[in-house]
Amino acid sequence: MKILCLNGPNLNRLGKREPSVYGTETLTDIENSLIQFGKQHQVNISCFQSNHEGQLIDWIHEAEDNDVKGIILNPGAYTHTSYAIRDAIASITIPVIEVHISNIHKREAFRHLSVLAAVCEGQISGLGSFGYQLALETFIKRNGEL
């Protein structure tokens, strides 16, 4: 089973600043744990990060042509602004789980709204990097491999 993990803008800075909000792990640490967990369950995870909206949209489209069974997406601040990413998610049949390391509902008012949530399968917010693993476990379970 193939799963895609996409991270949006500034998430390449994880572990370098604001540890009280985002923890001390780097994105590479998070991706490696996910890949490791996937291996234990015969799941192949591809992880990508981009600071560019169009690149994220291209990866979402390509997933549909590559037999990907689920997308774990932390869209960064595009969560709150990107109708283009929302349309991309709506244009594919693969389920997408939106993941946030911080609890977006506890933070500034502009972070309370996700323009993507309505086209995602679900949203995990505020559970730190464990949210990525929970999203992966959901896909594994759905596909009968957990």
What letter does residue 48 receive in the DSSP assignment? E
Tell me the site size for ligand CA2, rule CB under 6 A. 17
Work out whether 38 is an interface residue with ligand CA2 (CB under 6 A). no
Decide if 112 is catalytic: no
Q: Which residue intervals of 9-129 are DSSP H helices?
A: 19-22, 27-40, 53-65, 83-90
- Residues 106-135, one symbol each (x = binds ligand CA2 by CB under 6 A, - = not), give -----x------------------------
Q: Do 45 and 136 meet the contact criterion of CB atoms below 8 Å apart?
A: yes
Work out whether 145 is an interface residue with ligand CA2 (CB under 6 A). no
Residue 92 vs 127, nearer CB to ligand CA2: 127
Task: Please compute, for residue 35, the number of CA atoms within 13 A of its CA located in the half-sphere on the CB side.
Answer: 10
Residue 22 vs 59, nearer CB to ligand CA2: 22
Catalytic residue among 41, 52, 83, 100: 100
* Bridge partners of residue 48, in order along the sequence: 6
Taking alpha carbons only, the member of 113, 49, 119, 50 closest to residue 84 is 119
Interface contacts to ligand CA2, rule CB under 6 A: 10-11, 13-14, 16-18, 22, 74, 76-77, 79, 100-102, 104, 111
